[in-house]
Chains A and B, each alone.
Chain A
Amino acid sequence: MNRIAGLETEYGCLTNTPAGSFIAVERVRDWIFGREEFGLIDVHHRDWDEPPGNGGFLFNGGRVYIDMGHLEYCTPECYSLLDILKYDRAGDALAVHALKSLGLAGEVSFIRNNIDHYTGATFGCHENYLVRRSAPLTETNVLSLLTFLTLRLLYTGAGRVGTTLAAEWRGEISRPGSDGVFQMSQRADYINNDLYEWVQFNRSIINTRDEPLGDPRKFRRLHLLHGDTSVLPATVLLKVGTTSLMLDLLEINHLPKVVLADAVKTFRAMSHQPDGPWLVRLADGRCTDAVELLQRFFDAAWAEFHGRDTETDVLLDVWGSTLKALSSEPQALIGKVDWITKRWLLKRFMEQEKIDWDDPWLKAQDLEFHHIDPTRSLGWAMSQPPPAWDLSEKTIEASVLEPPSNSRAHARSQIMHLLREHAPPYSIDWEIIGVEGINPLNLLNPFDPSPPELKTWFAEFSAALKGNSAMTRPSRKESGK
């Protein structure tokens, strides 16, 4: 991957009583930070709705916090596709550990999906991609990127039972719609706009918030909230990997010029057509097949980047075979593409139980597909990842504690270990770390695991410790922790 990327996952929480989730989420958060084994709790206000104690950074470079009642996990800054997968799974593993250790595993479950079938509530999986500030964001390039982000639904949708009557304008409350259908996307019903800056109302395909969390002269951040939370490894990596390839093309101004007549309408309509036809209208009035358009993006990426490195070649191979299968043999994607896998499994279950799509049992199974415990997840049970993307449990477990070695997360984690031992008043953020009494450390380059300023900062920190015993608390050993 030619850029830093990361995922934010808002987990749903299933408890025996509806009100139980609020308590469970707080207990899990407190367990994660209580012993300072996995991370350090925030001791400062990050925002008006993020007071001290609401969450914190993890030693693996990620973050856990409570956002609008949901447990939310952010991966660290990842510089490879496999790291995206490893650290995405690490979030699940951490939450499963917490539930088991708290003795809650039998009564509380975390679900990595995006909908509540009965209330119309939605919550997201946000994707973040560093984009070089020099990328030519011409109108045609942005609209072409919008086209890709719309059509990728064909292999990134998580699938869902039922529909939600979509909000037509800001602030309107969504309501459950028809039950008797299966659609390809969890989020499509909730996407109202092509480009917009807000994240809760008037959700758009491209969120225009430009918050680089790095040197703003060099970087921007593409923030996407229209995608579903992926379950199968192949879907996770196709989603992030192919989007990153499109940004590679954008940065060299080689993105194919393909503009849809109405991206939002196309996105919503396609989601409701799992059997196709996936015909879409272009801005020039022509109607064409969505897979053929995706093939144009694929061909451009292949022409520019095939042979660049092993990771890219594997991604291109999987992407190319996925597009072929979408046209000719979608069942070949069982175990690889979420919505195709879920739909196939639910259909088997419907045949066995002689029930229809509007049976509530299917909504229950829909949730079970997204369960984060690998021993319960129907999705995990169906997973058939390409060999190169098949991670061991041991690898995922290691990622709960260790940061990526090749991104800024490594530097932040090093400093956090120091802060854990000495506990001066601190504030930690993605791109800056503040400690009372010494100069703040800016981490403006997300690619750099060992910025040159780190050595000077460590020296200042050490000198401050010697000169100010108040900065030092008893070590974990001395305090008996």
Chain B
Amino acid sequence: MPDQAQKTRPTGSGPSGGGEGPGSPKVDKPNTEELLKRMRKVDPDQAKRYRQRTGQ
């Protein structure tokens, strides 16, 4: 079990430092036509039946 965080010095700086780092994620718009059709079949009042007790 490690007692302390295993520290390894960075090989590059973070994005705000201008060095190597992640770029923005690829934008890949989902095809939602089928999903929108499925959504039309959802009972518009189902949230009214969703009566929950408060939990933690």
In the bound complex, what is the Cα–Cα distance between A329 and B36 (angstroms)?
24
The verdict on A93 contacting chain B, using a C-beta distance below 8 Å, is no
The verdict on A298 contacting chain B, using a C-beta distance below 8 Å, is yes
B47 touching A317 by the CB < 8 A rule? no
A70 touching B39 by the CB < 8 A rule? no
Q: Give chain A interface residues in 191-228, CB to chain B under 8 Å.
A: 199-200, 225
In the bound complex, what is the Cα–Cα distance between A334 and B30 (angstroms)?
8
Residue of B with least CB distance to A325: B24
Q: A116-B50, A334-B30, A361-B42 are in contact. Are A345 and B8 (CB under 8 A)?
A: no
B5 touching A2 by the CB < 8 A rule? yes
Contact with B along A106-130 (1 / 0, CB 8 A): 0000010000111111111010000
**B53: A residues at CB distance < 8 A:** 68-70, 121, 123
A67 touching B55 by the CB < 8 A rule? yes
Residue pairs across A and B with Cβ atoms less than 8 A apart, 16 shown, are A18-B49, A116-B51, A132-B3, A199-B56, A303-B10, A308-B6, A320-B21, A321-B23, A321-B24, A345-B32, A349-B39, A360-B45, A364-B42, A368-B39, A382-B32, A448-B1
**B32: A residues at CB distance < 8 A:** 345, 348, 382
**B25: A residues at CB distance < 8 A:** 318, 321-322, 325, 332-333, 336
A124 touching B7 by the CB < 8 A rule? no
B56 touching A200 by the CB < 8 A rule? yes
Contact with A along B2-16 (1 / 0, CB 8 A): 111111111111111
**B6: A residues at CB distance < 8 A:** 2, 308-309
Q: A69-B55, A124-B55, A225-B56 are in contact. Are A361 and B36 (CB under 8 A)?
A: no
B22 touching A320 by the CB < 8 A rule? yes
Q: A306-B10, A382-B35 are in contact. Are A117 and B24 (CB under 8 A)?
A: no
A15 touching B49 by the CB < 8 A rule? yes
**B46: A residues at CB distance < 8 A:** 14, 364, 367-368
B50 touching A14 by the CB < 8 A rule? yes
Q: A2-B2, A299-B14, A445-B1 are in contact. Are A307 and B52 (CB under 8 A)?
A: no
Q: A305-B5, A318-B22, A321-B25 are in contact. Are A363 and B51 (CB under 8 A)?
A: no
A302 touching B50 by the CB < 8 A rule? no
Q: Which residue in B16, B39, B42, B47 is a CB contact (below 8 Å) of A118? A: B47
Q: Give 9 closest A-B pairs by Cβ, nearest first.
A: A123-B55, A363-B47, A320-B22, A302-B14, A447-B1, A361-B44, A321-B22, A116-B52, A18-B51
